[in-house]
Amino acid sequence: MPEWKETVRAPEEEAEGPVVQAQSKSKAFFKKFMQRRTAVAAAVFLLILLIITVVGPELAPYDPAAPDYDNLLSGPSPAHVLGTDEYGRDVLSRLMAGSRLTLGVSLSSVIIGAAIGTVLGVLAGYYGGILETLVMRGSDVLFAFPDILLAIAIVAMIGPGIINVVIAVAVFTVPSFARIMRSATLSVKESLYVEVARSIGCKNGRILSMYIFPGTVQSMIVNFTMRVGTAILAAASLSFLGFGANVTEPDWGAMLSSGRNYIGVASHLVYFPGLLIFLTVLAFNLLGDGLRDTLDPKIK
């Protein structure tokens, strides 16, 4: 009979196991994600926009606040690729500088809303009872109002300003994360590994942090990506209506607000900021769709 020998793995090989498994999962994720060309194109666009947000103001061809009274309301030209505004300020430079303000407000509000909504949703889904009822009914009340109307009402109560816009957008972002994370938690907490963790005496805090939350993070990532687009629209709308950034600041919504007065003689003041808002929101939505399809094991 052939002699059976037990294979003993070296400690180095055992340590490499989880690393190799993580690398294989990462390769599978990227391979599946790269098959979705629209999502890849959106990711490339957002990466370029992120670079412009970080270093764009320093690379802008002109000072975004410097007027040029010899080129008032001039159209696109070799000297000013996207034209100038009513004060002769370069539109391209202001859009590059405004990306930092617009994306900063949007990302900050979604991060705050995601943090609060995730905590509420996970706790409501795990513990249930009166906590779940309060969280879900509170979310229903907020869902009863359109996002932009709720944001306008909040800003009207607490006053205009960038900080208040962040608060307003964060408030209507919370119920979305709370509902999605509650549903994901209800699904994950019935898993076998969670039942095993309970049976061996793990405390609720450890179960939530080590088993429940990692199983729901995919839902949070997808929703986060899509909510950023909604936040950009809301922040730009509030600035357009005069509740957000001042019209003199290089904010995309504020640029639209000031440009509408000259749409008949200098339509580029409306077209270029509006086009940039449209492309950015579209890119975040396409990226969210791609991440959802990639992370969903049911979709091949």
Give the 3-state secondary structure of 1-21.
CCCCCCCCCCHHHHHHHHHHH
Indicate if the pLDDT at residue 10 is higher than 80.
no
Q: Mean pLDDT in the chain?
A: 83
Residue 111 predicted with pLDDT over 90: yes
- In the predicted model, is pLDDT for residue 18 greater than 80? no
pLDDT of 284 over the 70 cut: yes
Per-residue pLDDT at 19 exceeds 60? no
End-to-end Cα distance, the chain? 45
Percent of the chain with pLDDT strictly greater than 90? 25
Given a cut of 80, whether residue 89 has pLDDT beyond it is: yes
Other CB atoms within 10 A of residue 249 CB = 18
What's the number of CA atoms in the CB half-sphere (13 Å) around residue 180?
23
Q: Give residue 228's pLDDT band: very low, low, confident or very high (50, 70, 90).
A: very high
**pTM for this predicted structure:** 0.83
pLDDT tier, 22 (very low <50, low <70, confident <90, very high otherwise): low
Report the length, in residues, of the chain.
300
pLDDT in tens, 170-197: 998 999 999 999 998 888 887 788 888 7
Q: What is the pLDDT of residues 243-270, one digit of tens each?
A: 877 777 788 888 888 888 888 888 888 9
Q: Does 21 or 147 have the greater pLDDT score?
A: 147
Label residue 299 by pLDDT band (50, 70, 90): low
Using pLDDT thresholds of 50, 70 and 90, give the confidence band for residue 290: confident
**166 neighbors 112 (Cβ within 8 angstroms):** yes
Q: Which amino acid is at 44?
A: V
Residue 11 has pLDDT above 50, yes or no: no
Cβ(289)–Cβ(223) below 8 Å: no
Six token digits for residue 33: 């994600």
Domains defined for the chain, CATH in brackets: 83-295 (1.10.3720.10)
Residue 25 clears pLDDT 80, i.e. is over it = no
* Class of residue 28 by CB neighbours under 10 A (exposed 0-12, middle 13-18, buried 19+): exposed
Q: Which residue has the tokens 């991440």?
A: 291
Task: Decide if pLDDT at 8 tops 50.
Answer: no
Confirm if 282 and 276 have CB atoms less than 8 A apart.
no
User: Among 91-100, 108-117, 204-213, which range has the highest average pLDDT?
Assistant: 108-117
Question: Which of the two residues, 27 and 99, has the higher pLDDT score?
Answer: 99
Task: Convert the pLDDT of each residue in 234-243 to its tens digit.
Answer: 988 888 888 8
227, 114 contact by CB (below 8 A)? yes
